[in-house]
Amino acid sequence: MKKIQLFHGTGFYFGRFEAGKDSTGKLVCKKDVTVWSNISQSYAMNKAKELKPTGSVRSALVSGNQWDYVMGCVNGKPDGVGTPFDVTKSGGRSSATNGKTTGASKADKVYNIYDLEGNFQEYDTGITNYYNSGPEAIVRGGCHTRSSSAASAYDFWFRADYQQSYSFRCILYVL
């Protein structure tokens, strides 16, 4: 997890990796594990709460505001191969990832955070009614199946659908 400072000393820890599953199927946030995909937004929200549900630490699904804040923090910072990370442009990182494991590409590492652009798009907590066909879930970031997706990309999909190309990212709050 990467701590992102907010206002007046408060903050949240932004997951360094997309949500993953360990060999027992437990939710983890670490490198080289299977990405947790084929999931709906509501299920992702519930799973994110399970990462650290005890004591003075709470976990949740990342919000759109938190995603945007992190984009501001990482924009222009060197990626894992030394190139300035531009959150608005695709750097070809999608072809460097396999879409199966977390943290697969050094090129998609910035500010010690992986997979913002090149692995799976990730649900945030937002919903929209863009198509007026029911609530659609908002997804952020890039995807390994799209060569032109950027870290700051914003899209949406039907909220109740389980999607193979969508994952999620957890945040932690220390209370």
Classified as helix, coil or strand, 44 is helix
Residues 120 and 108: their CA atoms lie apart, in Å, by: 12
Q: Give, for 21, the enclosing helix (H) or strand (E).
A: strand 20-21
Q: Sort strands 166-168 and 121-128 into parallel, antiparallel or unpaired.
A: parallel
With beta carbons less than 8 A apart as the criterion, state whether 23 and 32 touch: no
> Where in the chain are the domains?
2-174
**Most confident region among 88-97, 109-118, 160-169 by mean pLDDT:** 109-118
Q: Which of 18, 48, 52 is nearest to 35 (CA)?
A: 18
C-alpha distance from residue 150 to each of 34, 104, 111, 158, 160 (Å): 22, 17, 16, 21, 25
| Average pLDDT score over residue span 40-63 | 86
Eight-class DSSP state of 106: G
DSSP 101: B
Q: What is the per-residue pLDDT across 61-113, written as a single tens digit (0 to 9) for each?
A: 999 999 999 999 999 999 988 989 999 887 655 555 566 888 888 888 898 89
Global pTM value: 0.86
Structure tokens at 125: 């907590």
H runs (alpha helix) in the chain: 41-49, 64-74
Look up the CATH number of domain 2-174: 3.90.1580
Count of CB atoms situated within 10 Å of the CB of 94: 23
